[in-house]
Chain A
Amino acid sequence: GQQLNQSPQSMFIQEGEDVSMNCTSSSIFNTWLWYKQDPGEGPVLLIALYKAGELTSNGRLTAQFGITRKDSFLNISASIPSDVGIYFCAGQLNRDDKIIFGKGTRLHILP
């Protein structure tokens, strides 16, 4: 079945640093999604990507849809304390299809 591999599993960074995380798949997805989960809450959508090669920004967040359609990355610039949480990539093969999630990258920010 479809599997998503996220790396790294966890990150410890200093406030103000940039962050990069990525996601690879064993199969093609036609939509890539990035979600963030705060402690005790459900995940919230950050960025959605629809075309291979697409680069999309949302404030300090930038995500790209890989050319092969089997990978995506998320960058966070100038991290701040509220960026702490778990970041999930997710893929969808076709519109209206089920959405499969990766295992998540847990971001810790040191003061």
Chain B
Amino acid sequence: NAGVTQTPKFQVLKTGQSMTLQCAQDMNHEYMSWYRQDPGMGLRLIHYSVGAGITDQGEVPNGYNVSRSTTEDFPLRLLSAAPSQTSVYFCASRLTGGNEKLFFGSGTQLSVL
């Protein structure tokens, strides 16, 4: 098992550019989520999904879109990147049914100039 795989590891964007952060897991986890980590702010939940076809907003959803067409993949889209979106992004997944152990990817470091 590869676990939770995030790509790319590093990305630099110009303001206004769009891009998609990829996340894939091979553990058949129903629940997937995206967090951003900023200095002094901890991990803040952006969007999450409890299964294919279902997504919901977290604490800081503005500026981000997600979709969940398959169980394995949960891409995060930035339609028009802003400097405030410079951050480290983590994808995490877990089983549902009362299992709270989140498995995290190794992160994507995004800089928006």
Give 1 or 0 for each of A15-50: 1 = CB within 8 Å of chain B CB.
Answer: 000000000000000010101000011111100100
Q: Is the CB of A98 within 8 A of B33?
A: yes
Taking the closest CB of chain A, its distance from the CB of B18, in whole angstroms, is 25
Taking the closest CB of chain B, its distance from the CB of A64, in whole angstroms, is 17
Give the contacts of B41-98 with A (CB-CB under 8 A). Answer: 41-45, 48, 50, 56, 58-59, 90, 92, 96-98
CB closest chain-A residue, reference B109: A40
CB closest chain-A residue, reference B97: A96
Size band of the interface chain B makes with A: 20 to 34
The residue from B44, B56, B104 contacting A42, defined by CB atoms under 8 A apart: B104
Q: How far is the CA of A44 from the CA of B44 in the complex (A)?
A: 16
Q: Is the CB of A33 within 8 A of B100?
A: yes
Chain A residues, Cβ within 8 Å of B106: 40-42
Q: Is the CB of B40 within 8 A of A9?
A: yes
Chain B residues, Cβ within 8 Å of A96: 31, 50, 96-98
The residue from B35, B90, B102, B105 contacting A45, defined by CB atoms under 8 A apart: B102
Taking the closest CB of chain B, its distance from the CB of A103, in whole angstroms, is 4
Given contacts A9-B40, A41-B106, contact A98 B45 (CB under 8 A): yes
Give 1 or 0 for each of A91-111: 1 = CB within 8 Å of chain B CB.
Answer: 010011011111110000000
Q: Which residues of A contact B (CB under 8 A)?
A: 1, 4, 6, 9, 31, 33, 35, 40-45, 48, 88, 92, 95-96, 98-104
Can you offer 17 A-B residue contacts whose CB atoms are under 8 A? A1-B59, A6-B42, A9-B40, A31-B100, A40-B107, A41-B104, A42-B4, A43-B90, A43-B104, A44-B104, A96-B31, A96-B96, A96-B97, A98-B33, A101-B35, A101-B42, A101-B44
